[in-house]
Amino acid sequence: MKTFSIDDTIAAIATPLGEGGVGIVKISGPEARSILEQLFVPASAVRHPASLVHLAPRRLTFGHICDPRTGAMVDEVLAVYMPAPRSYTRQDVVEIQAHGGIVPLRQTLQLTLMSGARLAEPGEMTLRAFVNGRLDLAQAEAVLDVVQARTEAALRVATEQLEGKLSARVRSVRAQLVEVLAYLEASIDFVEDEIPSQDVIAPLRQVGHALQDILSTADRGLIYRQGIRAAIVGRPNVGKSSLLNALLRGERAIVTPIPGTTRDTLEETINIQGVPLVLVDTAGIRAETGDEVERIGVERSRAALDRADLALLVIDGSQPLTDADRSISALISRKPGLVVVNKNDLPQIELPTDLLPAVPRLSVSALMGEGIEALEEAVVGLVFGGAVTAADTPLVSNPRHQASLKRALDYVGAAEGGQLGGLSSDLVAIDVREAVDALGEITGETVSEDLLEAIFANFCIGK
Protein backbone atom coordinates (compact mmCIF):
# COMPACT_ATOMS: atom_id res chain seq x y z
CA MET A 1 0.00 0.00 0.00
CA LYS A 2 1.48 3.32 -1.04
CA THR A 3 0.13 5.46 1.78
CA PHE A 4 -1.63 5.17 5.12
CA SER A 5 -3.02 8.71 4.97
CA ILE A 6 -6.63 8.90 6.12
CA ASP A 7 -7.04 12.65 5.77
CA ASP A 8 -7.75 12.78 2.05
CA THR A 9 -10.75 11.55 0.09
CA ILE A 10 -10.65 8.25 -1.79
CA ALA A 11 -12.95 6.68 -4.36
CA ALA A 12 -13.27 3.30 -6.04
CA ILE A 13 -15.66 1.00 -7.82
CA ALA A 14 -16.88 -1.34 -5.07
CA THR A 15 -18.48 -3.99 -7.28
CA PRO A 16 -16.89 -6.39 -9.78
CA LEU A 17 -16.40 -4.96 -13.24
CA GLY A 18 -18.68 -6.46 -15.87
CA GLU A 19 -22.29 -6.32 -16.92
CA GLY A 20 -24.83 -6.42 -14.12
CA GLY A 21 -27.93 -4.81 -12.73
CA VAL A 22 -26.15 -2.50 -10.29
CA GLY A 23 -22.63 -1.18 -9.86
CA ILE A 24 -21.46 0.94 -6.93
CA VAL A 25 -18.90 3.74 -6.77
CA LYS A 26 -17.89 4.47 -3.17
CA ILE A 27 -16.31 7.69 -1.88
CA SER A 28 -14.86 8.12 1.62
CA GLY A 29 -13.25 11.15 3.21
CA PRO A 30 -13.83 14.78 4.16
CA GLU A 31 -14.69 15.86 0.59
CA ALA A 32 -17.12 13.04 -0.15
CA ARG A 33 -20.22 15.19 0.13
CA SER A 34 -18.67 18.07 -1.81
CA ILE A 35 -17.76 15.72 -4.67
CA LEU A 36 -21.29 14.35 -4.77
CA GLU A 37 -22.66 17.88 -4.90
CA GLN A 38 -20.54 18.57 -7.98
CA LEU A 39 -21.70 15.48 -9.87
CA PHE A 40 -25.17 14.54 -8.72
CA VAL A 41 -28.38 16.18 -9.88
CA PRO A 42 -31.47 14.99 -7.98
CA ALA A 43 -34.40 14.27 -10.22
CA SER A 44 -36.37 16.90 -8.31
CA ALA A 45 -33.76 19.62 -8.88
CA VAL A 46 -34.95 22.59 -10.89
CA ARG A 47 -31.54 23.83 -11.91
CA HIS A 48 -27.91 22.65 -12.01
CA PRO A 49 -25.79 22.50 -9.90
CA ALA A 50 -28.13 21.38 -7.15
CA SER A 51 -27.62 21.70 -3.43
CA LEU A 52 -27.76 18.59 -1.29
CA VAL A 53 -28.87 20.45 1.82
CA HIS A 54 -32.37 19.04 1.46
CA LEU A 55 -31.19 15.43 1.01
CA ALA A 56 -31.61 13.39 4.19
CA PRO A 57 -28.56 11.39 5.30
CA ARG A 58 -28.67 7.63 4.81
CA ARG A 59 -31.59 7.80 2.37
CA LEU A 60 -31.34 6.86 -1.28
CA THR A 61 -32.10 9.70 -3.67
CA PHE A 62 -32.88 9.23 -7.33
CA GLY A 63 -31.10 11.43 -9.84
CA HIS A 64 -28.35 11.64 -12.43
CA ILE A 65 -24.57 11.82 -12.54
CA CYS A 66 -23.58 14.64 -14.85
CA ASP A 67 -20.25 15.93 -16.11
CA PRO A 68 -19.87 19.31 -14.36
CA ARG A 69 -17.84 20.64 -17.29
CA THR A 70 -20.52 20.08 -19.92
CA GLY A 71 -23.67 19.19 -18.03
CA ALA A 72 -23.91 15.95 -20.04
CA MET A 73 -25.66 13.11 -18.24
CA VAL A 74 -23.49 10.05 -17.61
CA ASP A 75 -25.96 7.74 -15.88
CA GLU A 76 -29.22 7.49 -13.98
CA VAL A 77 -28.37 6.59 -10.38
CA LEU A 78 -29.38 6.32 -6.75
CA ALA A 79 -27.10 8.22 -4.36
CA VAL A 80 -26.78 8.07 -0.60
CA TYR A 81 -24.73 10.23 1.75
CA MET A 82 -23.66 8.76 5.11
CA PRO A 83 -22.09 11.36 7.43
CA ALA A 84 -19.38 10.39 9.90
CA PRO A 85 -19.14 8.58 12.22
CA ARG A 86 -22.07 6.33 11.32
CA SER A 87 -20.50 4.84 8.21
CA TYR A 88 -18.28 1.91 7.23
CA THR A 89 -15.07 3.94 7.49
CA ARG A 90 -16.34 6.33 10.21
CA GLN A 91 -15.74 9.10 7.69
CA ASP A 92 -18.20 10.87 5.43
CA VAL A 93 -19.13 8.22 2.86
CA VAL A 94 -21.03 8.47 -0.40
CA GLU A 95 -22.28 5.53 -2.43
CA ILE A 96 -23.46 6.00 -5.99
CA GLN A 97 -25.53 3.07 -7.20
CA ALA A 98 -25.31 3.16 -10.98
CA HIS A 99 -26.08 0.68 -13.75
CA GLY A 100 -23.66 -2.21 -13.61
CA GLY A 101 -21.81 -1.64 -16.86
CA ILE A 102 -18.10 -1.02 -17.29
CA VAL A 103 -18.43 2.28 -19.17
CA PRO A 104 -20.88 4.15 -16.87
CA LEU A 105 -19.03 3.02 -13.74
CA ARG A 106 -15.64 4.05 -15.07
CA GLN A 107 -16.93 7.39 -16.26
CA THR A 108 -18.54 8.03 -12.87
CA LEU A 109 -15.32 7.08 -11.11
CA GLN A 110 -13.27 9.34 -13.39
CA LEU A 111 -15.54 12.26 -12.56
CA THR A 112 -15.05 11.67 -8.82
CA LEU A 113 -11.27 11.68 -9.33
CA MET A 114 -11.48 14.83 -11.42
CA SER A 115 -13.50 16.45 -8.64
CA GLY A 116 -10.85 15.90 -5.97
CA ALA A 117 -10.84 12.25 -4.89
CA ARG A 118 -7.88 9.90 -5.07
CA LEU A 119 -8.18 6.33 -6.38
CA ALA A 120 -8.31 4.02 -3.37
CA GLU A 121 -5.64 1.42 -2.84
CA PRO A 122 -6.66 -2.25 -2.35
CA GLY A 123 -8.39 -2.61 1.02
CA GLU A 124 -8.07 1.08 1.86
CA MET A 125 -11.73 1.47 2.80
CA THR A 126 -11.43 -1.34 5.36
CA LEU A 127 -8.05 0.00 6.49
CA ARG A 128 -9.75 3.27 7.37
CA ALA A 129 -12.43 1.36 9.26
CA PHE A 130 -9.62 -0.26 11.27
CA VAL A 131 -7.61 2.92 11.85
CA ASN A 132 -10.74 4.80 12.91
CA GLY A 133 -11.67 2.10 15.42
CA ARG A 134 -14.77 0.67 13.79
CA LEU A 135 -13.11 -2.75 13.37
CA ASP A 136 -10.11 -4.33 15.01
CA LEU A 137 -7.55 -6.04 12.78
CA ALA A 138 -9.00 -9.55 13.13
CA GLN A 139 -12.45 -8.22 12.22
CA ALA A 140 -10.99 -6.33 9.26
CA GLU A 141 -9.42 -9.53 7.95
CA ALA A 142 -12.74 -11.30 8.42
CA VAL A 143 -14.30 -8.89 5.92
CA LEU A 144 -12.16 -10.44 3.19
CA ASP A 145 -12.96 -13.94 4.46
CA VAL A 146 -16.69 -13.21 4.20
CA VAL A 147 -16.24 -12.02 0.61
CA GLN A 148 -14.16 -15.07 -0.34
CA ALA A 149 -16.10 -17.75 1.59
CA ARG A 150 -16.74 -20.77 -0.64
CA THR A 151 -18.99 -22.77 1.68
CA GLU A 152 -21.59 -22.08 4.34
CA ALA A 153 -19.20 -23.37 7.01
CA ALA A 154 -16.48 -21.00 5.83
CA LEU A 155 -18.97 -18.13 5.87
CA ARG A 156 -20.07 -19.03 9.40
CA VAL A 157 -16.46 -18.99 10.63
CA ALA A 158 -15.84 -15.63 8.93
CA THR A 159 -18.99 -13.95 10.21
CA GLU A 160 -18.31 -15.03 13.79
CA GLN A 161 -14.83 -13.54 13.50
CA LEU A 162 -16.38 -10.39 12.02
CA GLU A 163 -18.67 -10.22 15.05
CA GLY A 164 -15.56 -10.19 17.25
CA LYS A 165 -15.71 -13.59 18.95
CA LEU A 166 -12.02 -14.34 18.36
CA SER A 167 -11.06 -10.79 19.32
CA ALA A 168 -12.97 -11.04 22.60
CA ARG A 169 -11.17 -14.26 23.57
CA VAL A 170 -7.79 -12.87 22.60
CA ARG A 171 -8.33 -9.62 24.50
CA SER A 172 -9.38 -11.54 27.61
CA VAL A 173 -6.23 -13.66 27.54
CA ARG A 174 -4.06 -10.65 26.73
CA ALA A 175 -5.52 -8.73 29.68
CA GLN A 176 -4.46 -11.54 32.02
CA LEU A 177 -0.94 -11.37 30.66
CA VAL A 178 -0.85 -7.61 31.02
CA GLU A 179 -1.67 -7.99 34.72
CA VAL A 180 1.21 -10.46 35.11
CA LEU A 181 3.52 -8.14 33.20
CA ALA A 182 2.52 -5.17 35.36
CA TYR A 183 3.38 -7.12 38.51
CA LEU A 184 6.73 -8.28 37.14
CA GLU A 185 7.72 -4.79 36.06
CA ALA A 186 6.62 -3.37 39.40
CA SER A 187 8.76 -5.94 41.20
CA ILE A 188 11.71 -4.81 39.12
CA ASP A 189 11.24 -1.12 39.94
CA PHE A 190 10.38 -1.44 43.61
CA VAL A 191 11.80 -3.29 46.54
CA GLU A 192 10.03 -6.62 47.05
CA ASP A 193 8.63 -5.69 50.48
CA GLU A 194 6.97 -2.56 49.02
CA ILE A 195 4.53 -4.52 46.86
CA PRO A 196 2.45 -7.52 47.87
CA SER A 197 3.66 -10.87 46.61
CA GLN A 198 1.66 -12.29 43.70
CA ASP A 199 1.46 -15.77 42.22
CA VAL A 200 2.70 -15.69 38.60
CA ILE A 201 2.62 -19.39 37.77
CA ALA A 202 -1.15 -19.87 38.14
CA PRO A 203 -2.18 -17.10 35.71
CA LEU A 204 0.50 -18.14 33.23
CA ARG A 205 -0.81 -21.70 33.27
CA GLN A 206 -4.36 -20.44 32.93
CA VAL A 207 -3.36 -18.38 29.91
CA GLY A 208 -1.52 -21.37 28.43
CA HIS A 209 -4.63 -23.55 28.72
CA ALA A 210 -6.78 -20.80 27.18
CA LEU A 211 -4.41 -20.43 24.22
CA GLN A 212 -4.35 -24.18 23.68
CA ASP A 213 -8.15 -24.20 23.72
CA ILE A 214 -8.33 -21.43 21.10
CA LEU A 215 -5.77 -23.24 18.94
CA SER A 216 -7.47 -26.63 19.27
CA THR A 217 -9.74 -26.09 16.26
CA ALA A 218 -7.40 -23.87 14.24
CA ASP A 219 -6.41 -26.57 11.75
CA ARG A 220 -10.07 -27.23 11.00
CA GLY A 221 -10.72 -23.51 10.71
CA LEU A 222 -7.93 -23.19 8.14
CA ILE A 223 -9.45 -26.05 6.15
CA TYR A 224 -12.84 -24.32 6.05
CA ARG A 225 -11.17 -21.10 4.94
CA GLN A 226 -8.58 -22.37 2.46
CA GLY A 227 -9.99 -25.71 1.37
CA ILE A 228 -8.21 -28.94 0.49
CA ARG A 229 -6.67 -29.95 -2.84
CA ALA A 230 -7.35 -33.53 -3.89
CA ALA A 231 -5.60 -34.94 -6.96
CA ILE A 232 -7.45 -37.68 -8.84
CA VAL A 233 -4.68 -39.87 -10.23
CA GLY A 234 -4.37 -43.18 -12.02
CA ARG A 235 -3.34 -44.75 -15.29
CA PRO A 236 -5.27 -43.88 -18.45
CA ASN A 237 -8.88 -45.00 -18.84
CA VAL A 238 -9.56 -46.10 -15.27
CA GLY A 239 -12.38 -43.55 -14.87
CA LYS A 240 -10.76 -40.48 -13.32
CA SER A 241 -12.81 -38.00 -15.32
CA SER A 242 -15.96 -40.05 -14.70
CA LEU A 243 -15.23 -39.87 -10.97
CA LEU A 244 -14.82 -36.09 -11.21
CA ASN A 245 -18.17 -35.83 -12.97
CA ALA A 246 -19.82 -38.07 -10.40
CA LEU A 247 -18.53 -35.97 -7.50
CA LEU A 248 -19.63 -32.78 -9.27
CA ARG A 249 -23.04 -34.29 -10.10
CA GLY A 250 -22.57 -33.03 -13.65
CA GLU A 251 -20.72 -33.50 -16.93
CA ARG A 252 -17.65 -31.31 -16.53
CA ALA A 253 -14.89 -33.53 -17.94
CA ILE A 254 -14.90 -35.20 -21.35
CA VAL A 255 -15.23 -38.97 -20.97
CA THR A 256 -14.42 -41.42 -23.80
CA PRO A 257 -13.17 -45.03 -23.93
CA ILE A 258 -10.02 -43.75 -25.69
CA PRO A 259 -6.98 -43.74 -23.36
CA GLY A 260 -5.32 -40.35 -22.98
CA THR A 261 -8.45 -38.24 -23.50
CA THR A 262 -7.51 -35.93 -20.62
CA ARG A 263 -4.43 -34.00 -21.74
CA ASP A 264 -4.25 -31.38 -19.00
CA THR A 265 -5.27 -30.91 -15.39
CA LEU A 266 -8.84 -29.76 -14.75
CA GLU A 267 -9.86 -28.14 -11.46
CA GLU A 268 -13.30 -27.81 -9.91
CA THR A 269 -14.36 -26.95 -6.35
CA ILE A 270 -17.13 -28.78 -4.51
CA ASN A 271 -18.58 -28.43 -1.03
CA ILE A 272 -18.33 -31.56 1.09
CA GLN A 273 -19.82 -31.03 4.57
CA GLY A 274 -18.58 -27.44 4.60
CA VAL A 275 -15.11 -28.26 3.29
CA PRO A 276 -14.15 -26.55 0.01
CA LEU A 277 -12.59 -29.51 -1.83
CA VAL A 278 -10.63 -28.59 -4.94
CA LEU A 279 -10.71 -31.64 -7.20
CA VAL A 280 -7.89 -31.86 -9.73
CA ASP A 281 -8.58 -34.28 -12.58
CA THR A 282 -5.21 -35.27 -14.03
CA ALA A 283 -4.02 -36.85 -17.24
CA GLY A 284 -3.49 -40.59 -17.00
CA ILE A 285 0.04 -41.30 -15.83
CA ARG A 286 2.04 -43.84 -17.81
CA ALA A 287 5.76 -44.34 -18.09
CA GLU A 288 6.15 -43.57 -21.78
CA THR A 289 4.10 -41.94 -24.50
CA GLY A 290 5.01 -40.89 -28.00
CA ASP A 291 2.47 -38.05 -27.97
CA GLU A 292 4.23 -34.81 -26.97
CA VAL A 293 1.01 -33.17 -25.78
CA GLU A 294 0.15 -36.19 -23.64
CA ARG A 295 3.69 -36.23 -22.24
CA ILE A 296 3.30 -32.63 -21.08
CA GLY A 297 -0.06 -33.54 -19.55
CA VAL A 298 1.55 -36.38 -17.60
CA GLU A 299 4.23 -34.00 -16.29
CA ARG A 300 1.53 -31.62 -15.13
CA SER A 301 -0.27 -34.50 -13.45
CA ARG A 302 2.82 -35.30 -11.42
CA ALA A 303 3.18 -31.62 -10.47
CA ALA A 304 -0.49 -31.46 -9.46
CA LEU A 305 -0.01 -34.53 -7.28
CA ASP A 306 2.97 -32.91 -5.56
CA ARG A 307 0.88 -29.81 -4.74
CA ALA A 308 -2.16 -31.75 -3.55
CA ASP A 309 -3.05 -32.24 0.11
CA LEU A 310 -4.41 -35.71 -0.57
CA ALA A 311 -4.65 -38.16 -3.46
CA LEU A 312 -7.47 -40.27 -4.81
CA LEU A 313 -5.84 -43.23 -6.59
CA VAL A 314 -8.34 -44.64 -9.07
CA ILE A 315 -8.02 -48.34 -9.95
CA ASP A 316 -10.07 -50.21 -12.54
CA GLY A 317 -11.57 -52.99 -10.43
CA SER A 318 -12.62 -54.96 -13.50
CA GLN A 319 -9.05 -55.48 -14.72
CA PRO A 320 -5.93 -57.03 -13.23
CA LEU A 321 -3.53 -54.66 -11.50
CA THR A 322 -0.82 -53.37 -13.85
CA ASP A 323 2.75 -52.18 -13.38
CA ALA A 324 1.46 -48.65 -14.08
CA ASP A 325 -0.98 -48.94 -11.15
CA ARG A 326 1.87 -49.97 -8.84
CA SER A 327 4.14 -47.18 -10.10
CA ILE A 328 1.47 -44.57 -9.45
CA SER A 329 0.72 -46.02 -6.01
CA ALA A 330 4.39 -45.55 -5.15
CA LEU A 331 4.06 -41.85 -6.01
CA ILE A 332 1.31 -41.33 -3.41
CA SER A 333 2.67 -43.63 -0.70
CA ARG A 334 3.80 -40.67 1.44
CA LYS A 335 0.68 -38.59 0.95
CA PRO A 336 -2.71 -38.99 2.66
CA GLY A 337 -5.05 -40.69 0.25
CA LEU A 338 -7.73 -43.18 -0.66
CA VAL A 339 -7.73 -46.06 -3.13
CA VAL A 340 -10.89 -45.74 -5.22
CA VAL A 341 -11.71 -49.06 -6.90
CA ASN A 342 -13.87 -47.97 -9.82
CA LYS A 343 -16.26 -49.80 -12.16
CA ASN A 344 -17.92 -52.00 -9.55
CA ASP A 345 -20.85 -52.30 -11.96
CA LEU A 346 -18.65 -54.78 -13.89
CA PRO A 347 -17.36 -58.17 -12.71
CA GLN A 348 -14.59 -57.49 -10.21
CA ILE A 349 -11.07 -58.90 -9.90
CA GLU A 350 -9.73 -59.16 -6.38
CA LEU A 351 -6.91 -56.71 -5.79
CA PRO A 352 -3.68 -57.86 -4.11
CA THR A 353 -3.43 -56.90 -0.47
CA ASP A 354 0.08 -55.44 -0.83
CA LEU A 355 -1.17 -52.40 -2.79
CA LEU A 356 -1.00 -49.56 -0.24
CA PRO A 357 -2.20 -51.81 2.59
CA ALA A 358 -2.47 -48.92 5.07
CA VAL A 359 -4.60 -46.77 2.75
CA PRO A 360 -8.42 -47.09 2.96
CA ARG A 361 -10.17 -48.60 -0.08
CA LEU A 362 -13.61 -47.81 -1.41
CA SER A 363 -15.55 -49.47 -4.18
CA VAL A 364 -17.51 -47.19 -6.50
CA SER A 365 -19.08 -46.98 -9.89
CA ALA A 366 -18.46 -43.48 -11.20
CA LEU A 367 -20.63 -44.28 -14.21
CA MET A 368 -23.63 -45.34 -12.12
CA GLY A 369 -23.00 -42.97 -9.19
CA GLU A 370 -22.70 -45.84 -6.69
CA GLY A 371 -20.51 -45.36 -3.61
CA ILE A 372 -19.99 -41.63 -4.19
CA GLU A 373 -21.55 -40.55 -0.88
CA ALA A 374 -19.41 -43.08 1.00
CA LEU A 375 -16.37 -41.69 -0.81
CA GLU A 376 -17.26 -38.16 0.31
CA GLU A 377 -17.62 -39.34 3.91
CA ALA A 378 -14.21 -41.01 3.68
CA VAL A 379 -12.63 -37.82 2.32
CA VAL A 380 -14.04 -35.76 5.19
CA GLY A 381 -12.88 -38.36 7.70
CA LEU A 382 -9.42 -38.27 6.17
CA VAL A 383 -9.29 -34.47 6.25
CA PHE A 384 -10.39 -34.14 9.85
CA GLY A 385 -8.93 -37.34 11.21
CA GLY A 386 -12.39 -38.73 11.80
CA ALA A 387 -13.40 -36.02 14.25
CA VAL A 388 -15.94 -33.62 12.80
CA THR A 389 -18.35 -31.53 14.86
CA ALA A 390 -20.47 -29.46 12.51
CA ALA A 391 -21.99 -27.38 15.31
CA ASP A 392 -18.58 -26.38 16.69
CA THR A 393 -17.42 -23.32 14.77
CA PRO A 394 -13.64 -22.84 14.92
CA LEU A 395 -12.49 -19.53 16.36
CA VAL A 396 -9.31 -19.43 14.28
CA SER A 397 -9.25 -19.72 10.49
CA ASN A 398 -6.39 -17.44 9.54
CA PRO A 399 -2.81 -18.77 9.34
CA ARG A 400 -1.46 -15.43 10.59
CA HIS A 401 -3.62 -15.66 13.70
CA GLN A 402 -2.61 -19.27 14.26
CA ALA A 403 1.08 -18.35 14.02
CA SER A 404 0.65 -15.46 16.48
CA LEU A 405 -1.23 -17.66 18.95
CA LYS A 406 1.44 -20.36 18.75
CA ARG A 407 4.16 -17.79 19.29
CA ALA A 408 2.31 -16.38 22.30
CA LEU A 409 1.89 -19.89 23.71
CA ASP A 410 5.62 -20.54 23.33
CA TYR A 411 6.49 -17.31 25.15
CA VAL A 412 4.02 -18.09 27.94
CA GLY A 413 5.62 -21.51 28.34
CA ALA A 414 9.07 -19.93 28.43
CA ALA A 415 7.93 -17.42 31.04
CA GLU A 416 6.48 -20.17 33.22
CA GLY A 417 9.65 -22.22 32.89
CA GLY A 418 11.78 -19.19 33.72
CA GLN A 419 9.73 -18.37 36.79
CA LEU A 420 9.92 -21.96 38.03
CA GLY A 421 13.64 -22.02 37.30
CA GLY A 422 14.32 -18.98 39.41
CA LEU A 423 15.08 -16.48 36.67
CA SER A 424 14.94 -12.82 37.61
CA SER A 425 11.72 -10.90 37.07
CA ASP A 426 13.19 -8.79 34.28
CA LEU A 427 14.04 -11.90 32.23
CA VAL A 428 10.61 -13.48 32.81
CA ALA A 429 9.00 -10.16 31.90
CA ILE A 430 10.69 -10.24 28.49
CA ASP A 431 8.85 -13.45 27.55
CA VAL A 432 5.55 -12.18 28.93
CA ARG A 433 5.91 -8.94 26.99
CA GLU A 434 6.59 -10.88 23.77
CA ALA A 435 3.44 -12.93 24.38
CA VAL A 436 1.41 -9.75 24.92
CA ASP A 437 2.76 -8.29 21.67
CA ALA A 438 2.06 -11.49 19.73
CA LEU A 439 -1.59 -11.43 20.81
CA GLY A 440 -1.76 -7.71 20.05
CA GLU A 441 -0.80 -8.49 16.45
CA ILE A 442 -4.08 -10.37 16.06
CA THR A 443 -6.37 -7.53 17.13
CA GLY A 444 -4.10 -4.70 16.03
CA GLU A 445 -2.90 -3.26 19.35
CA THR A 446 0.67 -4.00 18.29
CA VAL A 447 1.06 -3.91 14.53
CA SER A 448 3.61 -2.54 12.07
CA GLU A 449 2.93 -0.69 8.85
CA ASP A 450 4.60 -3.52 6.94
CA LEU A 451 2.12 -6.00 8.39
CA LEU A 452 -0.83 -3.75 7.58
CA GLU A 453 0.44 -3.39 4.03
CA ALA A 454 0.74 -7.16 3.65
CA ILE A 455 -2.77 -7.76 5.03
CA PHE A 456 -4.70 -5.14 3.10
CA ALA A 457 -2.85 -5.74 -0.17
CA ASN A 458 -4.90 -8.95 -0.46
CA PHE A 459 -8.17 -7.00 -0.56
CA CYS A 460 -9.85 -5.88 -3.75
CA ILE A 461 -9.94 -2.19 -4.64
CA GLY A 462 -13.12 -0.67 -3.26
CA LYS A 463 -13.33 -2.77 -0.10
- 189 with 239, same domain: the answer is no
d(C-alpha 460, C-alpha 12), whole Å: 10
pLDDT (tens digit per residue) in 422-454: 898 899 999 999 999 999 999 999 988 888 888
d(C-alpha 37, C-alpha 331), whole Å: 65
What is residue 53's predicted lDDT score, i.e. its pLDDT?
47
Read off the pLDDT band of 353 (50, 70, 90): confident
pLDDT (tens digit per residue) in 58-91: 999 999 999 999 999 999 999 999 999 999 999 9
Specify the CATH number for the domain of residue 154: 1.20.120.430
Q: Which residues span the domain enclosing 145?
A: 141-217+396-443
Specify the CATH number for the domain of residue 54: 3.30.1360.120
d(C-alpha 336, C-alpha 345), whole Å: 27
Q: Given a cut of 50, is residue 1 above it in pLDDT?
A: no
Number of structural domains found in the chain: 3
pLDDT (tens digit per residue) in 192-251: 556 777 899 999 999 999 999 999 988 888 888 888 888 888 888 888 888 988 888 866
Q: Given a cut of 50, is residue 263 above it in pLDDT?
A: no
- 70 with 29, same domain: the answer is yes
d(C-alpha 347, C-alpha 327), whole Å: 24
**H helical segments located in 281-371:** 292-307, 323-331
pLDDT (tens digit per residue) in 293-344: 445 555 666 777 788 888 899 999 999 998 888 888 888 877 888 999 999 9
> How many of the other CB atoms lie within 10 Å of CB of 354?
9
Of 356, 384, 412, which residue constitutes the final position of a domain? Answer: 384
- 232 with 360, same domain: the answer is yes
pLDDT (tens digit per residue) in 3-59: 567 889 999 999 988 888 999 999 999 999 999 999 999 987 655 444 444 678 999
What is residue 329's predicted lDDT score, i.e. its pLDDT?
84
- 18 with 78, same domain: the answer is yes
- 233 with 371, same domain: the answer is yes
The residue ranking higher by pLDDT, 370 or 263, is 370
- 338 with 245, same domain: the answer is yes
Within a domain: residue 57? yes
> How many of the other CB atoms lie within 10 Å of CB of 138?
27
- 267 with 343, same domain: the answer is yes
d(C-alpha 369, C-alpha 345), whole Å: 10
- 376 with 302, same domain: the answer is yes
Within a domain: residue 4? no
